[in-house]
């Protein structure tokens, strides 16, 4: 008895998933000092390591530049929540800005 194998079309899914905080901000999007430097360059701000302090937002977990040493939220995550705390988030409607 011989087996014939037939190779048909194969479905392949691809893409990236994004996780958002309760302020509709993409989580862990800016996670390296180099990303902070490039973002600052695009905005016309020069990031100077040793002079500017990097912080990780307690909500969206992105890095941002600000004075002080205590844990805090970034500027975007200091605004009122877009989504209620707890439970799954609905489809994001865009970045609050």
Nearest to 51 by CA among 73, 35, 29, 36: 36
Residue 97: pLDDT band with limits 50, 70, 90: very low
Residue 13: pLDDT band with limits 50, 70, 90: confident
> In this structure, is residue 66 part of a structural domain?
yes
> In this structure, is residue 53 part of a structural domain?
yes
The arithmetic mean of pLDDT across residues 37-60, rounded, is: 87
> In this structure, is residue 3 part of a structural domain?
no
Q: Does 78 have pLDDT greater than 70?
A: yes
> In this structure, is residue 46 part of a structural domain?
yes
> In this structure, is residue 42 part of a structural domain?
yes
- Residue 59 has a pLDDT of 92
**DSSP code at position 68:** S
> In this structure, is residue 71 part of a structural domain?
yes
Overall domain count for the chain? 1
Which domain range does residue 76 map to?
Answer: 19-86
Whole-model pTM: value is: 0.66
Nearest to 56 by CA among 37, 39, 36: 36
Q: How far is CA 26 from the centre of its chain?
A: 3
Residue 62: pLDDT band with limits 50, 70, 90: very high
């Amino acid at each position: 008895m011989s087996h014939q194998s037939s190779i048909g079309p194969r479905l392949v899914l691809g893409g990236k998933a994004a996780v958002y905080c309760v302020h509709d901000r993409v989580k862990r999007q800016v996670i390296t000092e180099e990303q902070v430097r490039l973002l600052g360059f695009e905005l016309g701000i020069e990031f100077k390591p040793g002079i500017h302090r990097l912080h990780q937002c307690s909500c969206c977990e992105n890095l941002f530049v600000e004075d002080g040493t205590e844990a805090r939220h970034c500027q975007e995550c200091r605004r009122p929540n877009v989504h209620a705390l707890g439970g799954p988030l609905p489809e994001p409607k865009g970045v609050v800005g």
